Amino acid sequence: MKKNNTLYLICKRVFDMIFSFLLLVVLFLPFVFIGIMIKLTSKGPILYSWKVVGKDGDYFNSFKFRTMVINADKMKEQLKDKNEMSGPFFKIEDDPRVTRVGKFLRKYSIDELPQFISVFLGSMSIVGPRPPLQTEYVNFTDFQKQKLSVKPGITCLWQVQGRNNINDANEWIKKDLEYISKRSFIFDIKIIVKTIFAVFRGTGK
């Protein structure tokens, strides 16, 4: 299928809605347990909400289980020298802001699960380029903005092909553009399967 194929986009949306709805229903009780563990082990809300940028530069609120201390955003400025990513992105392998429970949630990508709410509502897809933060987007080059030509996703090609080995921002963008040029329903399923294996191996983060 070509990327602009209407049938592909319809199938993708139907799959996103059904899959995300079923997953949210099945994981309701585990979500409650995770929420209790977060509250018992650190101060702050259960969910972390922040503005991200979606298709065509539209902003929306995304949610994750909170994995950091409550003053993490303020601490980010102090950790700039330790940033391992080039360009507008921020990444530290052993981030000191991450809580004890947060480390476990991140290792198995459990913190990402609330984003299926955004998938069900239509702001995101299961597979697609990762949405940048609003603070990252303001520093995007025209080349980097190309990733916003499609709906963002929870998982992407970059995550299943050397996520931990890519620290150059433009190399990350190239992976996103490679996905956009190749995307199809079968390709999406392959990425989902690879993501599931990565999660169970604990290499999702």
Q: How crowded is the C-beta side of 31, counted as CA atoms within 13 Å? A: 17
For the chain, domain boundaries:
6-201
CB-based contact 183:89 (threshold 8 Å): no
Residue by residue, pLDDT tens for the chain (205 residues) are: 444 588 999 999 999 999 999 999 999 999 999 999 999 999 999 999 989 999 999 999 999 999 999 888 778 777 877 776 666 777 777 788 999 999 999 999 999 999 999 999 999 999 999 999 988 898 899 999 999 999 999 999 988 886 556 667 788 899 999 999 999 999 999 999 999 988 887 655 5
Query: What pLDDT score was predicted for residue 1?
Result: 44
Query: What pLDDT score was predicted for residue 125?
Result: 98
Query: What pLDDT score was predicted for residue 92?
Result: 79
* Exposed/middle/buried for residue 28 (C-beta within 10 Å: 0-12, 13-18, 19+): exposed
pTM to 2 decimal places: 0.86
Query: What pLDDT score was predicted for residue 166?
Result: 63
Alpha-carbon distance of 57 to 189, in angstroms, equals 26
Query: What pLDDT score was predicted for residue 159?
Result: 83
